[in-house]
Each structure stands twice: as structure tokens, then as C-alpha cells.
A and B are shown apart, each in its own frame.
Chain A
Amino acid sequence: GAVVSQHPSWVICKSGTSVKIECRSLDFQATTMFWYRQFPKQSLMLMATSNEGSKATYEQGVEKDKFLINHASLTLSTLTVTSAHPEDSSFYICSALGLAGDEQYFGPGTRLTVT
């Protein structure tokens, strides 16, 4: 149980376009999901906390107008990278907070490459 999926697993887009990444909790409902960004050989950096039915809470330094997060249902959160630039190329990982509220379950990640 407690499986989280991400789609797509990898995506290549052109500079200036937008790309949407989906995060789904497959066998449980998650009122809270998290979005992380991981650079090569670096740790995961929390970008934002996504709460179902309300606005996401962004970490300091993360542009909320660039990284749009929508948590429209208890099993789905989406991250849209708007007007993507090559520096947005990264590995994006989501997690969902389990029902007990004490453990995060992670998706496999999405590799974004902006050309």
C-alpha cells in the first residue's frame, strides 16, 4: 500500500513552453502533498506544500507564479512549470502524507529537460 505515482517520468520541452507534472496517491487519500526539486548530486529541496482545496504554501525563494501547484482532489496534485527555461531542468519529486500524518510516501520523480 501507500503508492505514489508521477506522470510523466521524463519530459523534454522547448524554452518558453509550459509543462504539467502529475502526482497521484494510488491507494490512499492525501490531504497534503509535497513537491521537491533535486539537482545532480544534491539533496532534495522542498519547493512547496500542497493542501487539498487550498492554496499551496511555497518555500522561500520559490516563484509561485512560475511553479503553479493545484491540489484539486484527495489523490491528485499537479505542478505546472510555466514559461520553462533551461535552468528549470531538474528532477522533480512529489510525496504524499499518509493518513496517520507521520510519514511521507514518495513518487519516483519526473526528469524535466528544457531545451
Chain B
Amino acid sequence: GDSVTQMEGPVTLSEEAFLTINCTYTATGYPSLFWYVQYPGEGLQLLLKATKADDKGSNKGFEATYRKETTSFHLEKGSVQVSDSAVYFCALSGEGGGNKLTFGTGTQLKVEL
């Protein structure tokens, strides 16, 4: 079945550092790929998505590129802020899956001054 593997956290960075959170997936066909963010005490929010190979999703300075050849969707941001501290989830929605999402385990990011 479909699965998502993302790097374990927590990840601790200084403000303005470069962020990469790795995400790889296993799925048949061409799934849609997502990054969700969960701020403390809040529900998951869609951060960005990509629906086909080589698509780049971007939002709030975060980017991720759908790489079919490496089955990856790594999240990057050039300069993190304290306000980016949250838990980040990589997820996929398989072809014909009826919008059902398969999530990775989540990576906690802590950004310090």
C-alpha cells in the first residue's frame, strides 16, 4: 500500500538558517503530494501541494518539488523564522484514492533566536 517516510525530528535551527525536511513516498501511479503544518494548539493546515511530476509547490517561503524519479517531495525554506516552529507532515493522496490521505510521522521544527 501507499506509504510516506519523513525524517525524524525534532529539528532545531537558528533563525535565518536553511531548512530541509526530507520526505519520500511509495505509491502506485501518480499520487498528489502535500505538506501540512500544525502549529501548537491548532489543526493541520495545508502548506503546499503538487499534483504531478516536476511540479513545485510553494507558500510562505517554503518550497517542495515533486520528484518522480526519486519518489521524493523534500520541504525547503531558505531562511526560517521563530514563527515557523511547528510540526510538519508530508502526505500523499493516491490515484483514485477518493481524497484519502496517507501521512508521514511528522517532523517537529524548533527555531531559536
Contact = CB atoms under 8 A, between A and B. Distances in A.
Interface of A: 4, 32, 34, 41-46, 49, 93, 95, 97, 101-109
Contact of A109 (B43, B99, B100, B103): B43
A32 B99 contact: yes
Interface residues of B, number: 18
Given A43-B105, A43-B106, A44-B89, A104 B99 contact: yes
Give me the 3 closest cross-chain CB pairs, A-B, nearest first.
A106-B43, A106-B44, A43-B103
A23 B62 CA distance: 30
Q: Which of A32, A44, A103, A106 has the most CB of B within 10 A?
A: A44
A62 B99 CA distance: 19
B101 A46 contact: yes
B44 A93 contact: yes
Contact of A43 (B4, B42, B46): B4
Consensus secondary structure, chain A interface: strand
19 contacts: A32-B99, A34-B100, A42-B105, A43-B4, A43-B103, A43-B104, A44-B89, A44-B101, A46-B101, A46-B102, A49-B98, A49-B100, A95-B44, A101-B99, A103-B46, A104-B99, A106-B45, A108-B41, A109-B43
Nearest to A39: B105
A44 B104 CA distance: 8
Interface string B33-44: 000100001111
Given A43-B89, A43-B104, 12 more contacts: A32-B99, A34-B100, A43-B4, A43-B105, A44-B44, A44-B101, A46-B100, A46-B102, A101-B99, A104-B46, A106-B43, A106-B44
Contact of A108 (B43, B101, B102): B43
Nearest to A4: B43
Contacts of B36: 106
B40 to A, nearest CB: 10
B59 to A, nearest CB: 13
Contacts of B46: 103-104
